[in-house]
Every structure is written in C-alpha cells, then in structure tokens.
Amino acid sequence: MTNNDSNWNRLESVIKWANMTVNYFARYIGLSRAENLYRIKRGDNGISRDLADRIVGVFPEIDRVWLLTGVGRMLLSDDDRGEQIPYYDDDLESALADIASKEPSHYVYMPTINGCDLAIRCSSRAMCEPSWAAMDVFLKKIEPSQIIPGGEYALVTQNCVTLRKVRTANDTESLRLTARNRDDYDDMTIRRSEIAAAWRVVAKLVIIND
C-alpha cells in the first residue's frame, strides 16, 4: 500500500464516519469544492496540514496526528464519538410504520447530535429540494400529545406515513401538515387521534446530488 493510498483510506474513513458524501464533506469543512479531496483519492496529493486543521476544527474527535501520519487511532477517545444511533437505509415513508420489526442497516456516530432514537433516509420530493439526492433524518420518539406546531415530525396514521412540518389548524384537536415543496404538494389536515406514532425531527443531514 502506498502512502497516497493510506492518505485516501484515512480521509475516506473520516468521511464515512461523518456519514457524508465527498462533496458535502468538502463544503462542511469549508472548502468551496471537493477537487482537493478527489486529488487525494487519485494519489496526486497528500493530506496537508491545512486540510487536517480544517477537519479537526470541525470534528475535534479526530486525532490530527493519525490523520496526517496514520499513527494511532482515528478517534481521540471512545467517549468523544457521540451516541451510537441505529440507521435504517430503507426510505422513511415505506419503513417507519413497521420500524420495530426491522433491524438497523448499521450504526452511525454523530458527535453533534444527541437525544434521538434512530436515523432513516428520506427521499420524499415533498420535503427535499431538487438539488438534494435525499436527506438523513434523526428522530426522537414522542407521544402525539407532545407535538408542538412549528416543528417537523414523522407521523404514522391509519392512512399514511409522512414527514411534514406541523402547523396549527382551525381547531385544537387537529393539525395542519405542510410540505417544503408547497407548489406541488397540498397541505393535509389530520386529527391528533388519528396519529398512531410520532417522531420529532432532531436533526437533518442533507445529501446533495454529486
């Protein structure tokens, strides 16, 4: 294995640990484009000190010495990794109703995200921008009575499974559900009593089309 191969393997390990695409990772650490990262993948460049500083500045859990040299471990300590979150690769609208019977595809560590029960892929055009391939949503299970208008929630009802922003309706026993793409998707009104299960969106990780 060449040193350049090792450079890319280490960088790729960090990108996968962050659960991001290469392009999204580049923007996340402050690069205007991902070309520098792809040069490392091709073996043209190594991991520079500036790149290492950018990565460690955003992800302080990463060992800078390991990133530059390969000596040691990727994470400074097990305690710094954040919560282990079960991740389901199935799409939210097809999987969430029966999520208790499914096994996670794998587990992810997101140091900046706490207090969620699971992460799942959502590719609904109602909630994704045209430039998004999909988004990973991090969810916390709640009682339907805990839904507060103004937030985004994943809801399971007798008729549908959906991710929507919740707004007030004409009466206190009903909720109005709105899509991000309101040009193509009408609002829905449901009664709280129709909700079989509810999850609050704790965080979202947008996956941009490469």
- Range of 195's domain? 84-208
Are residues 133 and 149 both part of a single domain? yes
Q: What is the pTM of this model?
A: 0.65
Q: Do 90 and 148 contact (CB within 8 A), yes or no? A: no
Burial letters 131-164, b for 16+ CB under 10 A, else e: ebebbbbbbbeeebeebeeeebbbbbbeeebbbb
Question: What number is the average pLDDT over the span 166-172?
Answer: 92
Residue pLDDT, tens place only, 91-146: 999 999 899 999 998 777 666 677 899 999 999 999 998 888 888 999 999 999 99
Domain boundary among 25, 50, 80: 80
Look at residue 176 and give its three-state secondary structure: strand
pLDDT-above-70 percentage for the chain: 91
Q: What was the pLDDT predicted at 209?
A: 64
Distance CA 10, CA 69 (A): 9
Residues 98 and 69 in one domain: no
pLDDT single digits (tens) 53-106 = 899 888 888 888 889 888 888 887 755 556 778 989 889 999 998 999 999 987
Average pLDDT over residues 154-169: 95
74 and 161 together in one domain:
no
Between the two ends of the chain, the Cα-to-Cα distance in Å is 28
**In the predicted model, what is the mean pLDDT of residues 162-167?**
97
Query: To which residue do tokens 């193509």 refer?
Result: 184
Number of domains in the chain: 2
Residue 31 has pLDDT above 60, yes or no: yes
Given pLDDT bands bounded at 50, 70 and 90, which one contains residue 5? Answer: low
Residue where one domain finishes, among candidates 52, 80, 108: 80
Regarding whether 204 and 138 lie in a shared domain, the answer is yes
Residue 189: φ, ψ to 5°: -120, 130
- The answer to whether residues 49 and 74 belong to one domain is yes
Q: Are residues 71 and 91 in the same domain?
A: no
